[in-house]
Amino acid sequence: MTDTLLRVQGLKTRLGDDTNPVRAVDGVDLDIRRGETFALLGESGCGKSMTALSLMRLLPPSGRIVDGQAFLGETSLFELAEMDMRRERGGRMGMIFQEPMTSLNAVRTIGDQIGESVSFHDPENRGRVSSRVLELLKSVGIPDPERRLNEYPHQLSGGMKQRVMIAIALAGKPELLIADEPTTALDVTIQAQVLALLKGLQKRTGMAILLITHDLGVVSAVADRVAVMYAGQVIEQASTKHFIGTPAHPYSRKLFQSLPDSRKRGQRLTVIDGAVPKLTQQFNQCRFLERCDKALKICAQVEPPWQSIRTGEGMRCHLEVAETTEGEDQSDQADERPRFTGSNEVLLETRGLKVHFPIRQGVFKRVVGAVKAVDGIDLVIAPGHTLALVGESGCGKTTVGKSILQLIPPTEGSVRFEGAELTRLSRGSMRRRRSDMQIIFQDPVASMNPRMLVGDIIAEGMQAQGIGGNAKQRWTRVLELLDHVGLSEEAADLYPNEFSGGQRQRICIARALAVDPRFIVCDEPTSALDVSVQAQILNLLLDLQEERSITYLFITHNISVVAYLAHEVAVMYLGRIVERGTVEEVLDAPLHPYTQALLSAVPTIDSDTGREITRLEGDMPSPANPPAGCHFHPRCPRAVDACRKAYPETTHLSETRQVSCFEVGEE
């Protein structure tokens, strides 16, 4: 069906006081058809989530809708009384929020929370709530639903919690499902499951989906049409086919050029300079003006009009469509640069590295078992090289990085840095070696003291190590580092909360560089960043590697980043390495079934839709109780009897390539 389900006209939402309001949504027009998936795409802070919250009338206390209309079918959503809106919200309109853990009630069972929605929004099933809850749990693919409905949110994995959120949203049999970044915090394998689930449910129920995301790969995989938001406005709208093939707006084109992939190895990624303008101002010019390299004189004088490109497609820009595409070939724009190839020397080596956390029970806290977070890891990293460590959440990647740095003491095994055995060093000796080894944490907010100035945060490591000279010399060094990571000197006198996510990550990089390290563990340093900011950080990391021959252990689940940045890849599953090799060996010809499934689950913007996708069922087993035999066999589509009896030996296929799989070993 092609008739319109949701029609939004001139939506304007303000936050804060009336004297200087934030124009979070500033004149948005949308039409969503029945049965289609409509993607709302853009950077953080552009107004995507606020648009959805406006439609649901779930704005924060300071938020208010000041203009515009929204119709769900023939129902005017903004004219409904609150009691009537409650029936629509959770009924004909369902919503999956971005963070399931904060959206679920931690002290109520899963069954109770889904049942509440059934009781309120599904009058046909009020007499059989328990049966309906089981049906919903089965429909979203949760195994053993009879047991799960009596469990609490903390007992479920991230993917399971997201499925529960979907079940709650489906309880009211929605005609429109709003999914706000439903896969952002999930691994690619779980992301593939959730996206397949949403498409399957849509096919069965005929509901429309408004998908809010900043992931171009997800848009390419599931969306029918796309609207790009920037600074509170929709600046481009098109079918997914046309948008992926020929994005029209200069901002949209730069987003695609910012994406890392293997074809851009040795090139600088295109960066969108500057930041989204403050939304407290009254705009009388193009909002993308300061960041656009195609700006005309008129762009600074008049807000651009909406110009139609095709039926139902267009962009908000003074340029003609042909002008936006001139000279935009990425291969011509990127600066070619040689990649550091490293040497045959060994900077870091681990052998049989294990980290087991004891499980204690009872009054006397007796040890009754162990969580085998890392269970025998062998790694070798050459100076100036980048080894990417990939795998699902919970496989032990971060624990490997922290145990190498001795932030978590290994249970067993060897860690040698420049020939020195780190596990045998005294605390004082290890403290003196910390200047050689640093870490960039995944969450820059949590890793910085909010009560310290940025300058003091950067200087803290130098002071602790007794390096960098006197206080004046250290401060000079701080200012040099800020300039090196692309921040102004004024940043030193500000607090972390005064910066954007990308800027805070730059501060963390400056802090790590302050002590001149030779080895840095990068723990998901770009996972929470927008595409354009991610490109800035990746360019910076590569620049630093070329200038200083820094070695990286890059922990990530973003395969595109691996293809662009890394020299070698190690794939980890349940505490062990299952496959390792150069980037070309592993990504171009994966051999282990888990690696194949991991890579096939990654959504891409390629037009090739014929590639085979291996979907893994279920979640990774608990490291406290790993399966007998090969740890992957319960989820492996090609498992045989031998896989259930013993863990496969490591097969060395070349000097750089190794795989732990019976199937490969037999070859």
Final residue of a structural domain among 299, 330, 361: 330
Percent of the chain with pLDDT over 90: 64
- Angstrom CA distances, 173 to 144, 170, 202, 219, 271, stand at 23, 5, 11, 24, 43
For the cut 60, the answer to whether the pLDDT of residue 69 exceeds it is: yes
pLDDT (average), residues 123-152: 89
Same domain flag for 220 and 363: no
For the cut 90, the answer to whether the pLDDT of residue 11 exceeds it is: yes
Provide the residue range defining the domain that includes 369.
348-666
Assigned domain for 431 exists = yes
Same domain flag for 118 and 181: no
From 242-256, 393-407, 497-511, the region with the lowest mean pLDDT: 497-511
Assigned domain for 337 exists = no
Provide the residue type at 97 as one letter. F
Question: Which pLDDT does position 528 carry in this prediction?
Answer: 67
* pLDDT bucket at 99, cuts 50 / 70 / 90: confident
Local structure of 628: helix, strand or coil? coil
Final residue of a structural domain among 302, 330, 358: 330
Same domain flag for 282 and 251: yes
Q: Could you tell me which residues are beta bridge partners of residue 372? A: 356
- Report the distance separating Cα 430 and Cα 416, nearest Å: 12
For the cut 90, the answer to whether the pLDDT of residue 388 exceeds it is: yes
Same domain flag for 255 and 279: yes
Question: Which pLDDT does position 266 carry in this prediction?
Answer: 76
Final residue of a structural domain among 137, 169, 201: 169
For the cut 50, the answer to whether the pLDDT of residue 339 exceeds it is: no
Question: Which pLDDT does position 267 carry in this prediction?
Answer: 83
Assigned domain for 339 exists = no
Would you state the structure tokens that stand for residue 56, as one six-digit string?
A: 């649901």
- Report the distance separating Cα 40 and Cα 37, nearest Å: 10
H or E, element range at 591? none
Question: Which pLDDT does position 332 carry in this prediction?
Answer: 41
Residue with tokens 């080895």: 519
pTM confidence score:
0.85
- Angstrom CA distances, 251 to 38, 231, 247, 464, stand at 19, 12, 9, 44
For the cut 50, the answer to whether the pLDDT of residue 621 exceeds it is: yes
Residue with tokens 């390299």: 293
- Angstrom CA distances, 93 to 64, 173, 176, 208, stand at 20, 8, 5, 10
Question: Which pLDDT does position 606 carry in this prediction?
Answer: 66
pLDDT (average), residues 45-65: 93
For the cut 60, the answer to whether the pLDDT of residue 343 exceeds it is: no
pLDDT in tens, 637-663: 899 999 999 999 999 998 899 999 998
Assigned domain for 341 exists = no
pLDDT (average), residues 543-553: 91
186 contacts 194 by C-beta, under 8 angstroms: yes
Number of neighbouring beta carbons within 10 Å of residue 57:
18
Provide the residue type at 612 as one letter. E
Residue with tokens 């399957």: 200
pLDDT in tens, 266-298: 788 888 887 788 899 999 999 999 999 899 999
Assigned domain for 97 exists = no
- Angstrom CA distances, 614 to 72, 267, 594, stand at 37, 31, 9
Assigned domain for 553 exists = yes
Would you state the structure tokens that stand for residue 274, as one six-digit string?
A: 């500057």
- Report the distance separating Cα 592 and Cα 664, nearest Å: 8
308 contacts 237 by C-beta, under 8 angstroms: no
Long-range contacts of 630-634 (CB under 8 A, 24+ apart): 630/660, 630/661, 630/662, 631/573, 631/574, 631/575, 631/576, 632/573, 632/574, 632/578, 632/592, 632/593, 632/594
From 215-229, 262-276, 405-419, 652-666, the region with the lowest mean pLDDT: 262-276
Question: Which pLDDT does position 185 carry in this prediction?
Answer: 64
pLDDT in tens, 562-601: 999 999 999 999 999 999 999 999 999 999 999 999 998 8
For the cut 80, the answer to whether the pLDDT of residue 322 exceeds it is: no
Would you state the structure tokens that stand for residue 506, as one six-digit string?
A: 């730059």
- Angstrom CA distances, 577 to 335, 346, 355, 571, stand at 35, 19, 14, 6
Local structure of 586: helix, strand or coil? helix
Same domain flag for 32 and 153: no
For the cut 60, the answer to whether the pLDDT of residue 2 exceeds it is: no
For 414-482, the DSSP string reads EEEETTEEGGGS-HHHHHHHGGGEEEE-S-TTTTS-TTS-HHHHHHHHHHHHT-SSSHHHHHHHHHHHH
Would you state the structure tokens that stand for residue 144, as one six-digit string?
A: 């053993």
Distance from chain centroid for Cα 44 = 12
Same domain flag for 264 and 317: yes
Mean of all residue pLDDT scores within the chain: 89
Closest C-alpha to 117, from 175, 178, 167, 58: 167
Structural domains in the chain (count): 3
For the cut 60, the answer to whether the pLDDT of residue 471 exceeds it is: yes
pLDDT in tens, 181-193: 888 767 788 788 8
Assigned domain for 100 exists = no
Same domain flag for 315 and 419: no
Would you state the structure tokens that stand for residue 54, as one six-digit string?
A: 């406006």
Long-range contacts of 21-24 (CB under 8 A, 24+ apart): 21/280, 22/279, 22/280, 23/232, 23/279, 23/280, 23/283, 24/50, 24/63, 24/232, 24/279
For the cut 50, the answer to whether the pLDDT of residue 381 exceeds it is: yes
Q: What is the CATH number of the domain that holds 362?
A: 3.40.50.300
Assigned domain for 342 exists = no
Provide the residue type at 413 as one letter. G
Same domain flag for 264 and 375: no
Residue with tokens 């903004």: 78
Same domain flag for 232 and 188: yes
Same domain flag for 84 and 155: no
- Report the distance separating Cα 613 and Cα 358, nearest Å: 38
- Report the distance separating Cα 421 and Cα 423, nearest Å: 6
Backbone φ and ψ of 578, nearest 5°: -100, -20
Number of neighbouring beta carbons within 10 Å of residue 332:
7
Question: Which pLDDT does position 336 carry in this prediction?
Answer: 45
- Report the distance separating Cα 214 and Cα 244, nearest Å: 14
Same domain flag for 287 and 407: no
pLDDT in tens, 26-45: 999 999 999 999 999 988 88
Distance from chain centroid for Cα 415 = 30
Same domain flag for 492 and 426: yes
